[in-house]
Amino acid sequence: MKDNQKKNKSLKALLYLTGLPAAALAIVVPLLHSKADIKQNRQDSISTNKLYEALLISENELKNNKRLTPEQRAELESTIKHARQIYDEIIDAHNYDSRSKVSTAIELKNKLYLQIAQFELINAQSDDEFINVANQHDKDFVLEDVKNEYKDLLNKYIDSHTGNGAKKIDKSQFIKSVSDLFEKQNKILFNLELNTDMFIYNKIVTKDFLHIDSKAASMHQIVEFINDQIKSQGISRDAVEVYEELFELKSADLYNDESKNNTINVEKIYSQIQDAKQQVSSLSIEGVEKAKLINELDSLEAFVRKSKGSLDFKVIDQNNKEVSGFKIIEEFINSFWDKTAQYFQDDQKRIEYLKSLIAQAQALIETLPQSLKAQLQSQIEQAQKFIDSKEQKNIFTKVSDFTKEFNSIKIANNVLTSVLNKIAKSNLHADSKKQFSQQLNQIKYTNFFDYVAQINSIEAQINAQSAIKEFFKNKFDELNSQINFSIKYANLLGTSSQDIESLRELQKRIEALNIEEIKRSDLATLFHSSISTVRNINKKELKNVWEKVEIEFKDKSANEILKLKNKFDTFNNKFKQYYSSFSTATRSELSATDKLNNNLNEQFIGGAVAQSLNLWYQAQLANNYTDINEKTLHLQALFDTTFDDDKFKDQENNNDNISSIQLLKKQIEEIRTKGALISNADNLEFSEKLEKLKELSRLQREYEDKLNQIKELDLQRVDADYVFNGYNDNDVAKIYFNKEIRNINRLREEARAALSDPINGNFNLRAIRDELKNALDDFREKLDNKDGESIVALIKSYINNNFANRRKDPSRPTDVEDKLLKAIDKYKGELDKNTRSIKSSTEKSQESQRIQNKMNIVRDAVPAATKFEISLEELIKEHNDSIKSVSNFRDQLNGSGNTAKLSFTPENKTKFETEINNVSKRNTEISGEIEKLQNLIKNELFDSSIHNKSFIQQKEQQIQFLRQELVILNTNLAVQKEFLLMKNNEITDGVLRNSHKICEI
């Protein structure tokens, strides 16, 4: 405290000695502090406060806990004694090993709390008491994950002692686990506690010689905020890491300002002061006056030396303008002679100068706040009273005093206005703005230094709160980018829809967040809950990705993947711990972001998720490349077995024109080369390489499929050749399956063409194979079942096709057709009976063949039967026509009915009548023949042992003979008629001899 008091007093003294009343006051504004702002007692450092609090609790435990054993009491007393020693050493002004002592103080504080917890748990006399004590010590754990792990441990202990079948946990195990959790928490908090404690401690003892007290005070406020957050329940290690960043960032800014390299500017000022001193020494003035000027410059130089760490700050001068301290001092030195001209002025001019200052003060007074207005009014009245007294003594001192006070009030007003404006423009909550503004306006002005110090004290709180809010704003922006990554790559990370929805809801809250409308404490609470949500989802993401990585490494022994095995082994346990239930892993350890640089060896940057994704890509790359190599060997072997036939070798060895098969072989072999080029490409990222390798794998699958199609099609083609060659000349096959055999022949020729050019896109090998296979299967099925429904259906269809146009009623078969169909049905019945009754396969086959032969006889006879029926119908018609014709001729001969009687001679009449009778007799005979044929159809057809094709053809030939006979008979009868009629007009010899008489007439 004495050092700080001396510093402030020396600064004030220097200021009043110099000729820089306004300039120096402006510069000193950042250096001033109230006593309330910096606690001067070392006992007020964070580490000593925390240690002192732990000492009080442990001493109370020692005094009041009667269950402590002698050994426990001795152990606790030893720790208390050591803690007291460290506490005393820290507050010892002569102790300079501060970091070591503060570090020990933190460790001892933690040890005391652990010992209390251990001893109380050990000495619990029942399970209920043990559980009650354990619940009380829940407060010892402030870290979110550690507290959750402690609660889980306690719940498991409770379950194991309530007989629900859980594994038994004894007290010693529980207490050992508690000790481990204490150590885990203390380790996480230690660095932050140490660094913040050291800042406060060094600030108090001024070991860092900080001159920028206003900024140090703001930093003090930030440290207190951080420590308040540490004390709060539910803070995560992630938040601790964030607060470490906040401390490091703001303390670095502070020390950078303090240690900024001002050497050049300071040396320049020193040089200017020395030049001014030399000029003063050369002046022809009295020694007393010269000494005053030299003393003024000496004071200025001393002030610069003491305040050089602050001279680069922007400050408000007496004209309400923001300038640097360096600039103010430099301008003063440059106008040194003008500013010191008052030494050479007479008293009257000094009085006039004082009056002008009073006039300026009176013009300003109405614009000032009440606290400053009264002080300036008092100064004006005193100055005016001095002028009115016409006292000439100490005029220079009076002018100087009024100038200093007037400028002090002006600067104080500017400082107040500046801070009020800062509040209005700040990101503080409205309540905080109102509170700070009221505090500023309530400050009473007694002197410049105390007034500005109180303003600085409030401004430090403003700056601290604004800095904290701005820091959180940036952290929320950073968090939002992490959320964007998780949403963007949700499919890659295996993020559940529920977690995606949680992230989107959180993102909406962040984007709607108005920093000014939320209090600092609420902002911190929101941040804690937000990072907890994000990092817990990050844990799930890591688990999902790492499980995919494990799949890539499982049972793999190829060289490419083994190159990555060390990295996998390094990450494996570490990352599994990261995503374990009570892991304290932070977002920086877990999360990932898109790559921001041109490093092609990584797809993402960041923590374990990024590293896992990168390793996953690398492992996929290695495995895909290995698969391509192995698949190439497989395809080459498959190619050789597929094209080992001479017909393929002829194409492969064709030098005139590269064959389709040669091209296919080349394409298969080129894939391995392409895979190596892609894997070693320097201009491709992992994701690009992977996509290209996957494309090659896809091509390999296509080639393998193509080769399998070729092989399968060739097998079908060989089978088709066998079937075609075996049945093409088979009479039975020709009879029943001619259409099928022709289809098989067409498809096998198409298969042969496709196999000669397998990579031609116009050929669908699989479709040809399937169609050919179906054709063969259909043929074989029909062939196997030709003694059943299949042959019956075929023959009936054959009969139908032959007789369809003969039916008078399309729905009813003709007589012959009906007999054929009934015969087929009869033989089908015999087949069915044979299948049921005969057990011997040989006998069954022989009997089936016998019955099939009957069916074949029927089928062979179908065309002849059709012709037979047609011819018979024609015969009947022609026979009827013949009967009518004979009747007509008889009518003509006898003149019956309306027919004119033929003019025959008796002899010719007798002859013609005889011809008619002969034809009529033959018609009667033919009627008998027709009846026999009709009876054959009606009562005899169809017996395959008699009525075969040849029999039917004979009957049809018989019909044709009868038809021809009828034609001849009726034609001859007509010719006889005409012949006999001509005979009635025959010219005799007598007629010829008397012909001349006719001529004479």
Host H or E run for residue 389: none
Banded pLDDT at 575 (limits 50, 70, 90): very high
- What's the one-letter identity of residue 644? D
Residue found under tokens 């799949």? 551
Q: What is the mean pLDDT of residues 888-910?
A: 79
Taking 3-state DSSP, the helix, strand and coil percentages for the chain, each rounded to the nearest 5, stand at 80, 0, 20
> Phi and psi of 597, rounded to 5°?
-115, -170
Predicted local distance difference test score (pLDDT) of residue 151? 95
Banded pLDDT at 308 (limits 50, 70, 90): low
Predicted local distance difference test score (pLDDT) of residue 476? 95
146 vs 143: CA distance, rounded Å:
5
919 vs 403: CA distance, rounded Å:
172
Q: What is the mean pLDDT of residues 650-678?
A: 74
| β-bridge mates for residue 606, sequence order | 592
Host H or E run for residue 315: strand 314-316
Query: What is the tens place of the pLDDT at every residue in 780-811?
Result: 777 655 555 667 887 888 888 888 888 888 88
Crossing angle for the helix pair 237-258 and 213-231, to the nearest 10 degrees: 170
746 vs 757: CA distance, rounded Å:
17
Q: Is the pLDDT of residue 244 over 90?
A: yes
Predicted local distance difference test score (pLDDT) of residue 331? 62
Mean pLDDT over the full length of the chain: 82
Which of 186-190, 496-500, 523-527, 782-786 shows the lowest mean pLDDT across its residues?
782-786
The pTM of the whole model exceeds 0.85: no
DSSP state of 939: I
Banded pLDDT at 404 (limits 50, 70, 90): confident
Predicted local distance difference test score (pLDDT) of residue 141? 95
Banded pLDDT at 212 (limits 50, 70, 90): low
- What's the one-letter identity of residue 469? K
* Torsion-angle region of 445 (φ positive above 0: left; ψ -120 to 50: alpha; else: beta): beta
Taking the C-alpha atoms of 668, 674, 675 and 681 in order, what is their torsion angle to the nearest 10 degrees?
Answer: 180
> Phi and psi of 532, rounded to 5°?
-65, -45
Residue 777 burial class via C-beta count within 10 angstroms: exposed 0-12, middle 13-18, buried 19 and up: exposed
540 vs 535: CA distance, rounded Å:
9
Distance of CA 929 to the CA centre of its chain: 96
940 vs 851: CA distance, rounded Å:
19
Q: Is the pLDDT of residue 754 over 50?
A: yes
Q: Are 171 and 205 in contact (CB under 8 A)?
A: no
Choose among 510, 581, 499, 513: nearest CA to 541.
499
In this structure, are strands 314-316 and 604-606 parallel, antiparallel, or unpaired? unpaired
- What's the one-letter identity of residue 548? K
Predicted local distance difference test score (pLDDT) of residue 133? 96
Q: Is the pLDDT of residue 125 over 60?
A: yes
Choose among 537, 435, 448: nearest CA to 495.
537
* Top-ranked range on mean pLDDT: pick from 311-320, 696-705, 774-783: 696-705
6 vs 8: CA distance, rounded Å:
6
Q: Is the pLDDT of residue 549 over 80?
A: yes
DSSP 749-780: HHHHHHHHSTT-TT--HHHHHHHHHHHHHHHH
Choose among 560, 552, 694, 556: nearest CA to 626.
560
Query: What is the tens place of the pLDDT at every residue in 349-401?
Result: 878 888 988 999 999 998 899 889 989 999 999 999 988 887 767 776 787 77
- What's the one-letter identity of residue 340? T
Predicted local distance difference test score (pLDDT) of residue 769? 92
* Torsion-angle region of 212 (φ positive above 0: left; ψ -120 to 50: alpha; else: beta): beta
Residues 6+ apart with CB under 8 A from 105: 47, 48, 50, 51, 83, 86, 87, 90, 197
Predicted local distance difference test score (pLDDT) of residue 336? 56
Banded pLDDT at 467 (limits 50, 70, 90): very high
| β-bridge mates for residue 594, sequence order | 604
Q: Where are the alpha helices (DSSP H) in 322-447?
A: 325-334, 336-339, 347-364, 370-388, 395-425, 430-441
Residue 163 burial class via C-beta count within 10 angstroms: exposed 0-12, middle 13-18, buried 19 and up: exposed
Choose among 891, 888, 906, 887: nearest CA to 983.
906
3-state SS assignment for residue 593: strand
238 vs 188: CA distance, rounded Å:
10
Predicted local distance difference test score (pLDDT) of residue 698? 92
Predicted local distance difference test score (pLDDT) of residue 993? 54
Q: Is the pLDDT of residue 947 over 80?
A: yes
| β-bridge mates for residue 324, sequence order | 314
Host H or E run for residue 604: strand 604-606
476 vs 328: CA distance, rounded Å:
41
DSSP state of 584: -
> Phi and psi of 333, rounded to 5°?
-65, -40
Residues 6+ apart with CB under 8 A from 738: none
Which of 131-145, 201-215, 353-367 shows the lowest mean pLDDT across its residues?
201-215
What tokens were used for 327?
């600039």
Q: Are 765 and 713 in contact (CB under 8 A)?
A: yes
603 vs 594: CA distance, rounded Å:
7
In this prediction, what percent of the chain has a pLDDT beyond 70? 80
Predicted local distance difference test score (pLDDT) of residue 613? 92
Residue found under tokens 């640097």? 324
Q: What is the mean pLDDT of residues 88-96?
A: 66
Banded pLDDT at 8 (limits 50, 70, 90): very low
817 vs 805: CA distance, rounded Å:
12
Q: Is the pLDDT of residue 665 over 70?
A: yes
Q: Is the pLDDT of residue 950 over 50?
A: yes
Q: What is the mean pLDDT of residues 523-540?
A: 94
Top pLDDT among 539 and 2 is at: 539
Residue found under tokens 């570090």? 103
Predicted local distance difference test score (pLDDT) of residue 34? 40
Residues 6+ apart with CB under 8 A from 687: 603, 617
End-to-end CA distance of the chain: 193
927 vs 882: CA distance, rounded Å:
11
Residues 6+ apart with CB under 8 A from 121: 130, 133, 134, 137, 171, 174, 175, 178
> Phi and psi of 914, rounded to 5°?
-65, -40
Q: Is the pLDDT of residue 412 over 70?
A: yes
Q: What is the mean pLDDT of residues 858-863?
A: 88
Residue found under tokens 């108090």? 204
Predicted local distance difference test score (pLDDT) of residue 39? 39
Cα–Cα distances in Å, from 391 out to 352, 398, 406? 14, 11, 21
Predicted local distance difference test score (pLDDT) of residue 911? 86
What tokens were used for 814?
């003709």
Q: Is the pLDDT of residue 300 over 80?
A: no
Q: Is the pLDDT of residue 657 over 90?
A: no
Predicted local distance difference test score (pLDDT) of residue 324? 65
Query: What is the tens place of the pLDDT at every residue in 701-718?
Result: 988 988 888 888 988 898
Query: What is the tens place of the pLDDT at every residue in 666-705?
Result: 888 899 899 989 988 888 887 788 899 999 999 999 889 8
- What's the one-letter identity of residue 709? Q
Query: What is the tens place of the pLDDT at every residue in 977-998?
Result: 888 888 776 655 555 555 444 4
Predicted local distance difference test score (pLDDT) of residue 315? 55
114 vs 135: CA distance, rounded Å:
15
CA angle (895, 899, 902) in 5-degree steps: 50
211 vs 452: CA distance, rounded Å:
16
Cα–Cα distances in Å, from 524 out to 140, 232, 466, 831, 978? 21, 11, 13, 95, 138
* Top-ranked range on mean pLDDT: pick from 50-64, 442-456, 628-642, 887-901: 50-64
3-state SS assignment for residue 835: helix
As a whole number of angstroms, the longest Cα–Cα distance in the chain is 212
Predicted local distance difference test score (pLDDT) of residue 370? 86
Predicted local distance difference test score (pLDDT) of residue 542? 97
> Phi and psi of 758, rounded to 5°?
-70, -20
921 vs 969: CA distance, rounded Å:
11
924 vs 918: CA distance, rounded Å:
10
Predicted local distance difference test score (pLDDT) of residue 348? 81
Q: What is the mean pLDDT of residues 613-639?
A: 90
What is the 3 state secondary structure string of 224-282? HHHHHHHHCCCECHHHHHHHHHHHHHHHHHHHHHHCCCCHHHHHHHHHHHHHHHHHHHC
Q: Is the pLDDT of residue 434 over 90?
A: yes
Q: What is the mean pLDDT of residues 238-257?
A: 87
Residue 145 burial class via C-beta count within 10 angstroms: exposed 0-12, middle 13-18, buried 19 and up: buried
150 vs 170: CA distance, rounded Å:
15
Predicted local distance difference test score (pLDDT) of residue 761? 77
